[in-house]
Structure 1
């Protein structure tokens, strides 16, 4: 056997070719924690969609939050009935209550994510907007990195911390990001991010890895803020362990602070 065999492009096992085939065919799933004390949650979802669309990605918002519209009765048989096309690059699914229809014996509802991926094979990013308890069931078997939402009011920040605590303790999701919705002149933004990061480390053993500041008064059609653009690019980077990546269907495979 030649010495340069190990450096060749010859497959090392039978699955090597399949891994290469499906390496590009994966949807990035990002858990977005719904915050009922936040005034501009819908606006922040719009900003996230704009940031991904700018990168050329097709993004779908799977809205499982309590504020999502009621789902169609036909969704029991066809999830596609819940999907609305908002633009050529953005889709929306009203999915309140749907994940529990896919719960398994271990309490996981991850099967719902696969079912959604199967009916939307062209989606690049799936923003799963849900309560922290729903996200625990959806992502309990993943290496997801939840995105916390908050504004600069105490009740909103308190909820974000409580959500992080639940996700850490119940689903073992230890790394989080934070999107802060506040005016550019808010004096509290940096202190809030620092307090959440400190509490995550000191009391939960968790990490607030990144935080973003977005102005809710900015026009959704404008270019995303530099920090949001950077974050979206990172999510889309294949080598970045962000969220959870799920194989798309193919011909061979139909994944209290103040």
Structure 2
């Protein structure tokens, strides 16, 4: 997952450079990506997210703990950092298939896995941990915290239904009520916005949850393709917003799109979201 090269200058010349300065020294951030088995191309989504983070001068540790991920190295439970692969100066990668359950504690949480990732991220000098896992595992990993999960959907109707099911589990069992959505596929901005509207309708009506940003990633585009404005906005907004609270005041002028607002109509059942 090669990240785009960074261009640095001595003084701020644009807003992105100013953001890089503001982000400097910021505490480690976790970006939980909810695995969706109905969405092919999740790897391309993570690649694009890393590129957007690199534009902000942030280094990313990608941790794939989804059911479909490659199995973790047998030494990972002993020395997590030693199993991390450096892909570029901005991106490191950890295959973590099956690894989280080694950290299951007596309260049935996986908080120890998050703590271990935090330590390993520090050793590889990562600013952000992009963690892909299923909704149930994320619920156990972030027990006692209130993350803002990033949902995945695609062109198949069942992918949006799965995204809503994940949102329901995380909102009811973790208390997470703010989300973002990435639509992966050859999908128009208009259709992606319509999908986001339907998901926001159901989230607001049934869960009291909200969808803040919607972005599209086409997995078929080359890795060198320019980042889309909506993905840049989503990532910048994520990094400007504390894990539990409104956007930080120093970044209040960041131009982000308005949250996806639920329509006045009554939402369709989850099985007809798309």
In structure 2, what is the Cα distance between the partners aligned to 1:194 and 1:202?
A: 12
In structure 1, what is the Cα distance between the partners aligned to 2:231 and 2:73?
A: 33
Q: Trace 1:50-129 onto structure 2 (pairs within 5 A).
A: 50-121=51-122, 122-129=125-132
Aligned to 1:218, the other structure's residue is in SS state: coil
Give unpaired runs (5+ residues) of structure 2: 1-23, 246-270
Structure with bigger strand share is 1
Q: Does structure 1 residue 149 correspond to structure 2 residue 152?
A: yes
Larger radius of gyration: 1
What's the offset of the Cα at 1:181?
Answer: 1.4
CA contact (8 A) 1:50 1:220 kept: no
CA contact (8 A) 2:203 2:209 kept: yes
What's the offset of the Cα at 1:24?
Answer: 3.1
Aligned to 1:167, the other structure's residue is in SS state: helix
Q: 1:194 to 1:175 in 2, by over 3 A?
A: same
Q: Which residue of 2 is the match for residue 212 of structure 1?
A: 215
Aligned to 1:62, the other structure's residue is in SS state: strand
Q: Does structure 1 residue 190 correspond to structure 2 residue 197?
A: no
Aligned to 2:75, the other structure's residue is in SS state: helix
CA contact (8 A) 2:193 2:214 kept: no
Q: Does structure 1 residue 158 correspond to structure 2 residue 145?
A: no
In structure 2, what is the Cα distance between the partners aligned to 1:152 and 1:43?
A: 15
CA contact (8 A) 1:31 1:243 kept: no
Q: Which residue of 2 is the match for residue 199 of structure 1?
A: 202
Stretch deviating more after TM superposition (103-112 or 173-182): 103-112
CA contact (8 A) 2:121 2:129 kept: no
Aligned to 2:97, the other structure's residue is in SS state: coil
1 or 2 for the larger relative contact order (CA 8 Å, sep ≥6)? 1
Q: Trace 1:40-51 onto structure 2 (pairs within 5 A).
A: 40-51=41-52
Aligned to 1:51, the other structure's residue is in SS state: helix
Q: 1:145 to 1:26 in 2, by over 3 A?
A: same
Q: 1:243 to 1:48 in 2, by over 3 A?
A: farther
CA contact (8 A) 1:59 1:127 kept: yes
In structure 2, what is the Cα distance between the partners aligned to 1:39 and 1:209?
A: 23
What's the offset of the Cα at 1:190?
Answer: 2.2
CA contact (8 A) 1:136 1:171 kept: yes
CA contact (8 A) 2:66 2:132 kept: yes
The number of residue pairs the alignment matches comes to 223
TM-score by length of 1: 0.81
What's the offset of the Cα at 1:243?
Answer: 7.3
Aligned to 2:242, the other structure's residue is in SS state: coil
Give unpaired runs (5+ residues) of structure 1: 1-22, 245-255
Q: Does structure 1 residue 231 correspond to structure 2 residue 260?
A: no
Q: Which residue of 2 is the match for residue 140 of structure 1?
A: 143
Deviation track 1:12-47 (CA, whole Å, cap 9, x = no partner) reads: xxxxxxxxxxx9351110110011111111111111
Stretch deviating more after TM superposition (23-32 or 183-192): 183-192
CA contact (8 A) 1:201 1:207 kept: yes
Aligned to 2:28, the other structure's residue is in SS state: strand
